[in-house]
Amino acid sequence: MSLQSSSAEETLRQVYDDLAHRREIRTDPAQIPVVEALDDLLTRLRGRRISKDGGLFGRILRRRSSPDLVKGLYVYGGVGRGKTMLMDLFFSLAPGKKKKRFHFNDFMMMVHDRIAAHRLDRKEGRTREDDPIPPVARVLAQEAQLLCFDEFTVTDIADAMVLSRLFSALFENGVVLVATSNVAPDNLYTNGLNRQLFVPFIAVLKAHAEILNLDSQTDYRLEKVGQLPVYTYPLGEETRSRMRQAWEALCEGASQPEDIIVKGRKVHVPCACGRSARFDFVDVCLKALGARDYLAIAARFDTVMIENIPVLDDAARNESKRFILLIDTLYDHHARVFVSAAAPVTSLYSGRTGVEAFEFHRTVSRLIEMQGEDWLKQWQIVHGMAEGVD
């Protein structure tokens, strides 16, 4: 999807209709209420920016209004309904430079780092504020008056414990929130440890953001995924091109690196976008990763791309063990796996000794099964249609 340059007053609906006219997207009636809500928010944000400009008129408006009158938006719905695409359009049109877009987990990691830095400053006498939340919120508000979040979900108790106070402080500082999620606000952090301490955040969220359900019956992601080659060989420019095209089809928004924290360690994901991850074989099988790391990857992503897999043999036993374990883990989590390899799956292992030669037969069988239409249909049920999947 290509976004053309837009004028300062262009509406999201105009851009949406133009993309539909160019057949880059398909008009979906279920998306229109979200488009209209985002357009309404754009109008209010543009009005607030004008009211902050210089001159007598701007000063009068500032006295009559406050930043917290701009209510944000929280859009939830199943995987592949177009939430990320709509967020792309909205963010490209949102006014001003003080706007930031994060994957929610990345944002919370940054918040915890800043809280820790404040506590160190307090310990060493560089600040007198005991409570780190207000100063952290003030600085965040100075950096961005519009915060946009992809994949808003709460699974970590450390996040859950600070969200209510953090966002209350952000809203008090005039920050506007726009978020997409697979989970309705009332279902956030369901069954989480000490959830009663998290519940106040739900009321804060509802008070400062309109809640909309994008209830489309069409899974656009599934449509795209179903047309993609799952296992591509041999390695070369044609295969690289096909994998690039597959990634572009999988990735609705901008991709970026991401770190998953596993027992205090960082598992680096070179390229992540929503629930999709892209690795080179070197990233996941030559590094010293183990079962916990692969479990964390499978829990975070439902679609995983692994590129440049060589023919494995007796000289690559450690790499073979990791690859076998990785495929087993992704299989158990019913992930969608895209592979580029040096040889057909039945010729991917040439070793003749050791337990790997025996175990790789299971890997071959699973890779073949994961290419089938039945696997894709089951993937849709597990990751696309299940209630509350995040």
Domain boundary among the residues 213, 246, 262 is at 213
Residue 320 scores a pLDDT above 80: yes
- Gap between the Cα atoms of 36 and 13, Å rounded: 7
Largest separation between any pair of C-alpha atoms in the chain: 83
* pLDDT confidence of residue 222: 55
pLDDT, tens digit, 9 for 90 and up, residues 92-104:
999 988 999 988 8
Residue 143 scores a pLDDT above 50: yes
Lowest pLDDT segment from 9-13, 137-141, 254-258: 254-258
192 and 288 both lie in a single domain: no
Lowest pLDDT segment from 175-189, 192-206, 294-308, 374-388: 374-388
Alpha helices in 126-198 (DSSP H): 133-143, 157-172
Residue 386 scores a pLDDT above 80: no
Residue 221 has which token pair? 């992601």
The secondary element (H helix, E strand) that includes residue 386 is none
- Gap between the Cα atoms of 320 and 325, Å rounded: 9
* pLDDT confidence of residue 221: 57
Answer for the pair 13, 36: CB distance below 8 angstroms, yes or no.
yes
Lowest pLDDT segment from 60-74, 295-309, 310-324: 60-74
* pLDDT confidence of residue 390: 34
228 and 179 both lie in a single domain: no
Segments forming the whole domain that contains residue 147: 12-213
Domain boundary among the residues 213, 233, 255 is at 213
54 and 165 both lie in a single domain: yes
- Gap between the Cα atoms of 252 and 247, Å rounded: 9
* pLDDT confidence of residue 47: 87
Residue 55 scores a pLDDT above 50: no
Across the beta sheet with 176-181, the strand order is 99-103, 146-150, 176-181, 72-76, 209-213
Residue 336 scores a pLDDT above 80: yes
207 and 345 both lie in a single domain: no
Q: What is the CATH number of the domain that holds 158?
A: 3.40.50.300
Tell me the backbone φ, ψ of residue 94, rounded to 5 degrees: -60, 135
Mean pLDDT of 73-88: 84
Residue percentage of the chain with pLDDT more than 70: 86
Residue 105 scores a pLDDT above 70: yes
- Gap between the Cα atoms of 300 and 383, Å rounded: 12
Mean pLDDT of 232-236: 93
Residue type at 150?
A: D
- Gap between the Cα atoms of 84 and 264, Å rounded: 30
CA dihedral 8, 13, 15, 16 (to 10 degrees): 160
Q: Hey, which of 50-59, 194-203, 365-374 has the most confident mean pLDDT?
A: 194-203
pLDDT, tens digit, 9 for 90 and up, residues 267-303:
999 999 888 999 999 999 999 999 989 999 998 998 9
**pLDDT confidence of 58, banded at 50, 70, 90?**
very low
User: Mean pLDDT for the chain?
Assistant: 85
Residue 138 has which token pair? 């003030």
Q: What is the CATH number of the domain that holds 379?
A: 3.40.50
The secondary element (H helix, E strand) that includes residue 375 is helix 373-379
DSSP E strand boundaries for the chain: 72-76, 99-103, 146-150, 176-181, 209-213, 231-232, 256-262, 265-273, 276-280, 303-309, 336-341
Residue 249, CA distances (Å) to 81, 136, 241, 256 in order:
14, 37, 12, 16
Residue 2 placed within a domain: no
* pLDDT confidence of residue 330: 93
123 and 79 both lie in a single domain: yes
User: pTM of the prediction?
Assistant: 0.60
The number of domains in the chain is 2
256 and 174 both lie in a single domain: no
Domain boundary among the residues 181, 213, 245 is at 213
Residue 307 scores a pLDDT above 90: yes
**pLDDT confidence of 224, banded at 50, 70, 90?**
low
195 and 225 both lie in a single domain: no
Residue 85 placed within a domain: yes
Residue 6 placed within a domain: no
Answer for the pair 274, 293: CB distance below 8 angstroms, yes or no.
no
Mean pLDDT of 191-203: 89
59 and 185 both lie in a single domain: yes
Can you give the length of the chain in residues? 390
* pLDDT confidence of residue 376: 79
Answer for the pair 345, 238: CB distance below 8 angstroms, yes or no.
no
Which is more confidently placed, 307 or 24? 307
181 and 290 both lie in a single domain: no
What is the distance, to the nearest Å, from the Cα of residue 222 to the centroid of all Cα atoms in its chain? 17
* Helices vs strands, H then E, count in the chain: 15, 11
* pLDDT confidence of residue 193: 84
- Gap between the Cα atoms of 115 and 130, Å rounded: 11
